[in-house]
Amino acid sequence: MAKTRVVVVDDSALVRSLLTEIINRQPDMECVGAAADPLVAREMIRNLNPDVITLDVEMPRMDGLDFLSRLMRLRPMPVVMVSTLTERGAEVTLRALELGALDFVAKPKIGITDGLKQLAEDITEKIRTASKARIRRVVVPPVASVPLATSALGSAAAAMHSPAASTSAAGQASQFGGLGRAALPTIGRLSTEKIIFIGASTGGTEATKDVLIHLPADCPAVMITQHMPPGFTKSYAARLDSLCRIRVAEARDGERVLPGHAYIAPGGFHLSVERSGANYIARVTDGEPVNRHKPSVEVLFNSAARVVGPNALGVMLTGMGADGAKAMRVMRDAGSFNIAQDEASCVVFGMPKEAIAHGAAHEVLSLNRIAPRLIERLRSAGGIGNRV
């Protein structure tokens, strides 16, 4: 069987050496080239025709994002970002995912040698997944036009949630998936009983965004487990909050789960839902990984089945593996209404495929149909507390 051919792009000679060693230890892949900057990488890609590249974010001669943007326009291919675990690194990494990178590895700021060796399994798994992924062509605003500072994201979020925001929304339709904010359908009344649960992994940061930006401000609460490491989910939530009609934030343990809000599992912690009297509350807990993941979709979806039952709506988006598939079937048995993303619109048709195989999904839909179907289902549900 042919090996996956990888080109490593990083300005650190140490990182290039370590990644090359990690890749070449795998029987199914080989590092065919290592470049110190994007201009050298460009020639390597042209001459060596790799299957996957790993790309550092901050490099000399050409910014990693600029290189990625050009690469995805001219020669789309699987890219795994190698990101520093800093606030700035997290924001730039999220921008890279918007530009078409499939996944990322968070390299440690100190102890780089031991840190990367400990991440060897994660690195090679992401490369292996990337080699099999569906590459999407991305049309997004230029790199410089997207604010990266958290303060800028916060300002954008405040403006977007203000009463005046809807007046300029229609003109921003192309930026938000083709549907102007003013044109978003409403559900009709806030539901404190129903909750939407979303699980996602590889490719899921953008897929989740594509669902959330089409949900109206009066939709039920949304609880999300996206496989992400610690240090990235805060920036991810802020970015989503700047784009959506609903409020989006990292979940906090013990907070009340409210309509019109989305709660993202913090990286490195499990998220679940509990009942406290008449209210739902978010439970954020430490603990062992489940299905090798923390946060795990299995944990969230099992709590949905146990606590929310027929008032739950489950959505399984793109991702490698089977995390959450069995629990989504438990949700269905408890009366929930479930949707799985279809293969054609998935970056990786792993988690939805497993959910479908377990008989967990009522419907299998393309990504652009999921939010409208949720809204349609909620509007036809007949009021608060009714079965969906």
Active site residue ranges: 201, 227, 323
How far is the first Cα of the chain from the last one, in angstroms, to the nearest whole number? 48
Kindly give the residue spans of alpha helices, DSSP state H, lying in the chain. Answer: 13-24, 38-48, 64-74, 87-99, 112-118, 120-132, 150-160, 204-212, 233-241, 297-303, 325-333, 351-357, 367-379
Pair of tokens at residue 43: 């020639």
Give CA–CA dist 102/206, Å, rounded.
10
Q: Is 319 helix (H, G, I), strand (E, B) or coil?
A: strand
Tokens at residue 140, please? Answer: 């997004």
Among residues 274, 278, 227, which one has the least CA distance to residue 253? 274
Tokens matching residue 242: 């700047």
CB 96 within 8 A of CB 118: no
Question: Cβ distance 330 to 336 under 8 Å?
Answer: no
Is the dihedral angle over the CA atoms 109, 113, 114, 120 positive or is it negative?
Answer: positive
Q: Three-class SS of residue 345? A: helix
How far apart CA 388 and CA 379 sit, in angstroms, is: 10
Helix-, strand-, coil-residue percentages of the chain, each rounded to 5: 40, 20, 35
Q: Is 23 helix (H, G, I), strand (E, B) or coil?
A: helix
Give the three-class secondary structure for 264.
strand
DSSP state of 266: P
Are 180 and 170 in contact, with CB atoms under 8 Å apart? yes
* Phi and psi, residue 272, nearest 5°: -145, 175
